[in-house]
């Protein structure tokens, strides 16, 4: 028996960082995926992954989540999500030792929620191998538990969007699926610098301790998320874009942008993007832009590629984690 599962990556249209403090965020699942195959194996969980920049990696994970056979600390960080998901699947589904193969269409540590997508796909794959019928809500809860364990602090954003797909508004553990009036074209560009979610969340927490204005910045982000959600529902993409631009300015105020991300955002805007911003934790990783016209989006990708950035056109995906 061999199970194939895919889980979407995501972009945050507005609200990252502030969402950790209870403000709302709007995120969208992308038509760009992590794929996992799972099949019963011998005596432990054997993982083969092409997630890492270091190429193909093999590791062995015990039922209680210990990783053997990794070569470096950076690899260990990526595999920690997989190992924690394996331990959860052993506890919750009594998952048998299995062979897991993990492939991603985007680089890890890119701010596109790769870790949540991998976690969700491993959990669903192992539930299927175990013959356990797992609900979406249960997957969402388990993904969030894994993220909390590995990162320390985490909102429900990634866990929700990877589980349900589409456009999602998240506030605390509550969420609502948004049906937009019009579907935008999205472009994602990678700054070629890693974005480490846990570290960036800690840095923003430290800034919040020191500067009184940080709460005010987050309140403004929360307000613009509400306006962006309304504009999205109405199909007013111009306003959605303007609010993404405003959100980018506020993320820069939280000091999570970088020189490369600023360059990408400005290239997007020159190419005719309705809006462009950092997506995810920042400090590296990706920027996302909203375009009305596919030809403008393609032009932006060409310009960014010529500058040495990895960029691609994508669309919202209606599907969350599922078997293929």
Q: Which residues make up the interface to ligand PMV (CB under 6 A)?
A: 16-17, 19-20, 111-113, 154-155, 157-158, 195, 197, 201, 280-281
CB of 131 to ligand PMV, least distance (A): 31
Distance of CA 31 to the CA centre of its chain: 12
Rounded to the nearest 10 degrees, how much is the dihedral formed by the CA atoms of 281, 285, 286, 287? 60
Distance CA 37, CA 3 (A): 5
Distance CA 169, CA 9 (A): 16
Q: Give the nearer residue to ligand PMV in terms of CB position, either 112 or 123.
A: 112
Token pair, residue 240, equals 């959605």
Q: What is the DSSP letter of 271?
A: T
Q: Give the nearer residue to ligand PMV in terms of CB position, either 26 or 274.
A: 26
Q: What is the DSSP letter of 23?
A: -
119 forms beta bridges with none
For residue 310, what are the contacts with CB-CB under 8 A and spacing of at least 6?
107, 189, 190, 192
DSSP track, 80-119 = HHHHHHHHHHHHHH-PPPEEEEEEESS-SSSSS-HHHHHH
Which residue is catalytic, options 94, 158, 212, 226? 158
Residue nearest to ligand PMV (CB): 280
Q: Give the nearer residue to ligand PMV in terms of CB position, either 205 or 230.
A: 205
Q: Would you put residue 121 in left (φ > 0), alpha (ψ -120 to 50) or beta?
A: alpha
Q: Give the nearer residue to ligand PMV in terms of CB position, either 112 or 142.
A: 112
Residues 35 and 41: beta-carbon distance below 8 Å: no
Taking alpha carbons only, the member of 81, 7, 8, 9 closest to residue 280 is 9
CB of 114 to ligand PMV, least distance (A): 8
Taking alpha carbons only, the member of 84, 82, 92, 91 closest to residue 38 is 82
Token pair, residue 299, equals 């032009």
CB of 66 to ligand PMV, least distance (A): 24
Kindly report the CA angle at 165 between 159 and 171, in degrees rounded to 5?
50
5 forms beta bridges with 36, 323
Residue 158 designated active-site: yes
CB of 253 to ligand PMV, least distance (A): 15
CB of 25 to ligand PMV, least distance (A): 7
CB of 201 to ligand PMV, least distance (A): 5
Q: Give the nearer residue to ligand PMV in terms of CB position, either 119 or 245.
A: 119
Q: Give the nearer residue to ligand PMV in terms of CB position, either 222 or 280.
A: 280
Q: Give the nearer residue to ligand PMV in terms of CB position, either 17 or 140.
A: 17
CB of 138 to ligand PMV, least distance (A): 20
Residues 286 and 190: beta-carbon distance below 8 Å: yes
Q: Which residues are catalytic?
A: 158
């Amino acid at each position: 028996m061999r199970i194939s599962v895919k889980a979407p990556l995501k972009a945050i249209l507005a609200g990252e960082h502030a969402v950790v403090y209870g403000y709302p965020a709007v995120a969208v699942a992308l038509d760009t995926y992590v794929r996992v195959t799972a099949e019963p194996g011998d005596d432990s969980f054997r993982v083969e992954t092409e997630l890492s920049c270091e190429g193909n990696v093999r590791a062995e994970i015990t039922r209680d989540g210990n990783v053997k056979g990794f070569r470096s600390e950076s690899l260990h960080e990526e595999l920690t999500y997989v190992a924690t998901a394996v331990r959860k699947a052993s506890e919750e589904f009594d998952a048998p030792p299995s062979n897991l193969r993990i492939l991603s269409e985007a680089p890890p540590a890119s701010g596109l929620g790769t870790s949540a997508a991998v976690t969700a796909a491993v959990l669903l794959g192992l539930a299927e191998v175990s013959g356990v019928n797992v609900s979406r809500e249960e997957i969402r809860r388990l993904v969030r538990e894994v993220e909390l364990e590995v990162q320390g602090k985490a909102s429900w954003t990634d866990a929700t969007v990877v589980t349900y797909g589409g456009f999602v508004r998240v506030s605390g553990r509550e969420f609502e699926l948004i049906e937009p009036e019009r579907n935008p074209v999205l472009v994602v560009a990678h700054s070629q610098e890693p974005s480490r979610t846990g570290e960036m969340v800690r840095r923003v927490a430290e800034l919040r301790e020191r500067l009184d204005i940080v709460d005010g910045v987050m309140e403004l982000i929360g307000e613009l998320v509400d306006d962006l959600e309304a504009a999205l529902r109405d199909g007013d993409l111009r306003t959605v874009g303007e609010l993404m631009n405003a959100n980018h300015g506020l993320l820069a105020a939280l000091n999570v942008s970088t020189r490369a991300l600023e360059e990408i955002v400005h290239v997007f805007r020159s190419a005719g993007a309705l809006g462009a911003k950092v997506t995810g934790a920042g400090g590296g990783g990706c920027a996302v832009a909203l375009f009305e016209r596919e030809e403008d989006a393609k032009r932006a990708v060409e310009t960014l590629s010529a500058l040495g950035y990895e960029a691609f056109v994508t669309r919202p995906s209606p599907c969350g984690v599922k078997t293929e």
